A and B are shown apart, each in its own frame.
Chain A
Amino acid sequence: MKVKRYLRLLGIQLKASGLLSLQYRADFFTEGLTSLFWTFTALAPLFVVYSERPNLEGWSFGEALLVVGWFTLLQGILEGAINPSLTGVVEHIRKGTLDFVLLKPADAQFLVSTQRFQPWRAFNVLTGVGLFVYAFMHLGRWPSVTGLLASVLLLGTSTLLLYSLWILTVSAAFFVVRVDNLTYLFTSIFDFARWPSSVFQGVGRGVLTLVFTYVIPLALMTTFPAQAMLGRLPPQSLVGAVVGAGLFAWGSRQVWLRSIRRYTSASS
């Protein structure tokens, strides 16, 4: 009953976002072009690195391309479904209109997380899928069914992780009001996810790899699903990713609830 109600709410919010983006049709073309442009700039360093050597920390060019594919796809999800809503929260907090969200008899986290979508960002998702196809053509083989299924499961956990990280960032807005810098920081850190996580092994005796696996789980987001597609992901890593993402989501939920309790709204 409750799930049905929230699904209906999601439908209505999606409809409103759809209506809004239809008002700005030109966006579709600009989004498409910028997305293509960024994909190619993202690929440029890859070409530079692999022109010198055939292999980087155990990743061939085609395999590393898969990681970039996942990065592009997740960027699409981040900027299309997560970022717009949660940036809206920061605006709500600054203007004091979060009051209206908190007055509604529905979960506040759900309401703020679904308030805005940018459907045109689906272009990035398509580009990501295109990169997968190209990468496998380059590798001269296709992924196994189990590998594909595992990567679909990891798509879920990656999205959940990204979303939870954003919730944590946004929760900071309750304490510092201006989180623009934090969101920039987040975007620049996310940029590391375009490389296979083992690339960073040489830096600080692997400290960076540890950080990107356990602290800011970038490795889980892009490297794991790429490994799953290649059939190289150990089952325990898959289980770890699912459990880890669940725990991370739970933790961020707790932080959000605590922040709401602290919220005292901008003075009238």
Chain B
Amino acid sequence: MISVRGLRKHYQVHQRPPGLKAALRSLVHRSYTTVKAVDGISFDIRPGERVGFLGPNGAGKTTTLKVLSGLLHPSDGEVTVDGHVPQKREEAFLKKIMLVMGQKQQLLWDLPPAETFELNRAIYDVPQAQYKKTISDLIELLEIGDLIVKPTRQLSLGERMKCELAAALIHQPRVLFLDEPTIGLDVAMQATMRTFIKEYNEKYGATLILTSHYMDDVAALCPRVIVIDKGLLSYDGGLDALVQRVRPEKRVVLRLSEEVDAARLSSLGRVVTHESGTAVLQVQQEAVNATVTRALSTLPVMDLTVENAPLEEVMSELFAESKARRTAASEPVPA
């Protein structure tokens, strides 16, 4: 469905140091630096897959999505989406895709969302009967029946985002790019959006690429993740396998009926946290069984669970690792 080979996107950015003198100088002589937003990544995505793009801010996620949706011309490399070259922006291609951006909106600000829906119906040439069916499905799934007749500016962020999503799906895109669709939403609304996105993917078999800062989004939606860092691909595979690789240790969470000496806990494994009757231990995977048995026999345990490290931690560790590698590589070799 999607094929990316050696994608590069470099920008020329004008740079100048702060201060009036530098500002005046830059009027005459400008210095440019090249920003390598994406620096040679390759991957394939099958029809109907749900893939999460992960990476710190400025990693190149949004740039990649924009190249895939035809908004940016790649500096180098080959990209095809369902047989189309995105940058040509052919009508047939544009009718198959959609990009939803959590931080930008396409809804007409002063008019009710229903007007934007109608406009999109005309732009995408959606037959009237199909439009009615789709829109009533969307209204039901997203529970926006009474929202779409209010002017957009009167809606809350969450309500607006639901209507944004509906506006984006009127033409039933086969490929959906979601750039932080849940940003700024409360936990309940995030969950609603996730459920809806998953249902859409399953119902229409749409291919889905998602970027998000909320790891819960990725964990709930994407069996496969692609990690991009500083424009380079640093991981492509299952989410579970990624966690295994970066943080093979497990976490044993103990709820204790009475206070326990810190030394007794640390004899079992590394203590991550220990407060008000709950202790979290980090232990090697192969030691989990032994630790659990010992904990149950030696400590006043009320409840015990074994978990993976939180995704946020896994990610920050992964990014820290690659940063350390980069710094090491760029340091001059002592003579």
Contact = CB atoms under 8 A, between A and B. Distances in A.
A183 B118 CA distance: 32
Interface residues of A, number: 25
A103 B73 contact: no
B122 interface: yes
Given A96-B104, A97-B104, A9 B122 contact: yes
Contact of B70 (A8, A12, A102): A102
A111 B106 CA distance: 13
Contacts of B106: 97, 100
Contact of A12 (B99, B103, B110, B122): B122
Interface string B264-285: 0000000000000000000000
A267 B99 CA distance: 15
Given A99-B99, A264-B11, A264-B72, A106 B123 contact: yes
Nearest to A267: B62
Contact of A268 (B101, B115, B122): B101
A5 B11 CA distance: 37
B103 A268 contact: yes
Given A102-B89, A268-B179, A16 B119 contact: yes
Interface of A: 5, 8-9, 12-13, 16, 19-20, 23, 95-97, 99-100, 102-106, 111, 261, 264-265, 267-268
Interface of B: 11, 62, 66, 69-73, 89, 91-92, 94-95, 97-99, 101, 103-106, 108, 110-111, 115, 118-119, 122-125, 179
20 contacts: A8-B122, A12-B118, A13-B119, A16-B115, A96-B104, A97-B105, A99-B71, A99-B104, A103-B94, A104-B94, A104-B124, A105-B91, A105-B95, A105-B125, A106-B123, A264-B72, A265-B72, A268-B101, A268-B103, A268-B179
Given A96-B104, A265-B71, A268-B101, 14 more contacts: A12-B122, A16-B111, A16-B115, A20-B110, A20-B111, A97-B105, A99-B66, A100-B106, A102-B89, A105-B94, A105-B95, A105-B125, A111-B123, A264-B72
